Amino acid sequence: MRRLGLLFAVLLFALPVLGQERGGGALRMDVNSFSYLRHLFPQLLAVDETGRVIPATDATGELVEDWSVEFGEFVAPDGVVRGRTLVTYTLRDDLTWADGAPITAFDAFPSSIRATWGFADGGRDTYYDGVGRLLNNLTEAIYAPYSEHEIQMLVPAETCAALEARPNFPITSVHRTSPDALQEIAGELDPDQSVYHRHEQALRFLNPSVSYRPRMAFDVIAPGFRLVEVGDDYSRLLVGDLAITTRFSDYADRSEEVKAFISGDLDVIINPSYTLRADLRSVPGVQIVEQVGRAWYALGFNFADPQNPRSAFDAATGEPLDQGAHPLFSDLRVRQAIRLALNPDALGAAATAGHYTRLASDQLPWSWAYNPDLAIPKSDPFEARLLLDSLGWRDWDGDGIRECHDCATAEEDAVMEFSLLYSSYDSVAAITARGIAEQLRRVGVQVSLRETSGSVEYDANAQDFGAYLLAVAEQQPVAADRARLYRQSEDTVYGEGVNFISYVNPELEAVFDRAAHAPDCDYDLRAEALREASAILYDDIPYLPLFAVNDFYAAQGWVSGFAPRQNDPFWNIDSWVVNR
């Protein structure tokens, strides 16, 4: 029996990692580095470097070895259809915690619920994670144990994208945190009951808030990890022959963390502040790997009349509603002109101090659905001016801002201006929004900035903006199916839909349908359809992809074995050697 385990407190709450003196062999990291060390605890799904779900093996270390996807109408006891896609995950039955207790579906249940609360990927609950979770209705997913080694997930839509609807989250040892509850739920589990009934039953016994207890499972360590000592404000463990000491305290800010690395007091640093990354390159012998990360930004154009926002369909009758047309962005040629006018390289450089990658589509270059045939769009403000001139948008009164004379979609003498919604909570978004306004002002387009201090999707739901800045952080596995952003059924003002821009494209929806119903939910077939969708979106420009933020990993020269993979700098940490 293979043994897995959990050092949950280290992931979410352990702060700077300090080790022995410089002459020793301990690896020293801070919380920002250590939070990526997901190999310390079991996770449900194995994911490859492109973000696809793959069967778990001894080499990957996760739990799910097989799965099935079933479409249909799954009804709750009250007669209401609660979902249309049921995913059944089969867990390996040869895995145990360090104390010999089996790892079961009951352990996985509370972590699945917590994932819907937005704590996925090591506790990150950021501005852009909100949109990412909404893409696949994650917040509406229903989880339920089916047997000791099977757990089911029910999602509202009928789609293969359900496979990626559950991001990985640390799995707690329920037999330690809620032993009485575990015995009760295991005794009363009835697989013949509906998914919703079993969900409610498990939720009564296995309250995620109760099970989520940091620092309770220090003696449950993952394979290859051995706990040495635990104190009130520190822990010490071994990864093979590599020692790691964690202290529960914090640096004042990331600049102190960078200073500690430069002085040699830290051995590894992950994603330091953008403006401080250049300082690390001066460290003698430093090893640096920079790659496309998980966060990306795009500019979304509202196609409907923002002065009279309406849902696509009447809530009571289902009849389509007249949403009007945006005076600028309902014209494809204006969207093309905006794309020509903007310089995403300058935007990304300003927002990330140069640590960005230009995007051609809404799929990251490492994603399983990426279309390599799409070229990075060119930036040409001069051509943008000529195109706007030809459309009747000219600076007729000489004030530097264009007005409409015989243009296709706006009233005569209308000023070429729009509001841009963004989150001021996100510094990259704020800098990017100001850059967009400045660049468009140079071609005669006036942008009024409209900031929100929280998650932008809540304000975007009102659909009373001209454009908005979308920010997404891809989860693992990657939810590459973007259908919800574009389906007309998702166009609901102050509703639960996420087609905030009132985009309508039946051809695109047909392509998304192919991806949603690919035979056996085959990843190759789904990727083929999603690449076709990217090509349609590239030509029609409902969203203008701008850039992705790069991940930045650095290790001291005396750390041997440092070789980050995509999204995983610690995959081989058990083979690292520290030779100070």
Got the DSSP string for 532-545?
HHHHHHHHH-SEEE
CATH 3.90.76.10 domain locations along the chain: 42-174
pLDDT of residue 197: 72
Secondary structure letter of residue 18 according to DSSP: -
Q: So what's the pLDDT on residue 215?
A: 36
Q: What is the pLDDT of residue 194?
A: 77
293-382+419-551 CATH fold: Dipeptide-binding Protein; domain 3 (3.10.105)
* CATH top-level class of 1-39+222-286+556-580: alpha beta
Contacts 24+ apart (CB under 8 A), 118-125: 119/169, 120/167, 120/168, 120/169, 120/475, 121/167, 121/168, 121/169, 121/475, 121/476, 122/11, 122/12, 122/35, 122/36, 122/38, 122/170, 123/11, 123/12, 123/35, 124/473
Q: Residue 383 — φ and ψ, nearest 5°?
A: -65, -35
Residues 6+ apart with CB under 8 A from 24: 243, 578, 580
pLDDT at site 400: 96
Q: Beta strand pairing status for 225-230 and 150-155?
A: unpaired
Q: What is the pLDDT of residues 28-56, one digit of tens each?
A: 777 666 655 566 677 889 999 999 999 99
- The pLDDT, as a whole number, for residue 216 is 36
pLDDT at 19: 38
pLDDT of residue 442: 98
Q: Tell me: the pLDDT tens digits for 170-183? A: 777 776 666 666 66
- Phi and psi angles of residue 514, each rounded to the nearest 5 degrees, phi first: -60, -45
Q: What is the pLDDT of residue 77?
A: 74
Residue ranges of the chain that CATH labels 3.40.190: 1-39+222-286+556-580
Which residue ranges of the chain lie beneath pLDDT 50? 1-24, 118-129, 137, 209-221, 249
The packing angle between helices 195-205 and 179-188, to 10°, is 160
Which superfamily is assigned to 42-174 in CATH? Dipeptide-binding Protein; Domain 1 (3.90.76.10)
Per-residue model confidence (pLDDT) at position 228: 66
The pLDDT value given to residue 218 = 39
Residue 358: per-residue pLDDT: 98
Range(s) within the chain of domains with CATH label 3.10.105.10:
293-382+419-551
- Count CA atoms closer than 13 A to 394's CA, side-chain side: 9
Confidence at residue 510, expressed as pLDDT on a 0 to 100 scale: 98
Q: How many CA atoms lie within 13 A of 294 on its CB side?
A: 21
Q: Write down the pLDDT at residue 21.
A: 35
**Beta strand 543-555 with 287-301: parallel, antiparallel or unpaired?**
antiparallel
